[in-house]
Amino acid sequence: MAILKQGRLAALLLSGTIICSTPTLAHADLYFAAGATSENTVVVSIEIDRDYSLQHWHPQLSLRLATGVLLLPGDEGDDNAAWRLTPAFRYTFAGERGVFAEAGIGAGVFLNTHLEGQELSTAFQFEDRLAIGIPFAGGELGASLMHYSNAGIKRPNDGFETLMLSYRTAF
């Protein structure tokens, strides 16, 4: 069973790597986040993302596209991980490098459908994301709240939330 999980994790990481290697993400940023879930599980996220200006709609609006891995180490072998794809609209206050707020709906594909006693029912989960942040030390410091659920595709639909602190930097 452990070999199967490792194979699925390798496939997940390979898929994310292939998507991240596309030319449109050639100037992407590296994003690290750590926090906890609503089930008191530690959560770590490593992503590659990129902002696209939407100045033709509004001078302070942009679209952030992110992909990466969400790692959820559990107790007694109840580990989980997900590959995520997260678009989010970003509104920047007071100029290009001011405080920002983000909101988006994305998706994640999880390795298994259990997380610390929660039954997710499906490997596919929607991700609702709210975040705030500020420029800091040549990058960005932020906080985000995310909710994962399958939107009632299959029961039970326990879902879970994560609260994370993050740092984003160019590479």
As annotated, the active-site residues are: 147, 149, 161
Task: Tell me if the bond preceding 156 is cis, omega within 30° of 0.
Answer: yes
Judged by phi (left if over 0) then psi (alpha if -120 to 50, else beta), residue 138 lies in left
User: Which pair of tokens denotes residue 63?
Assistant: 């679209």
Q: What's the per-residue H, E or C state across 101-147? A: EEEEEEEEEECCCEECCEECCCCEEEEEEEEEEEEECCEEEEEEEEE
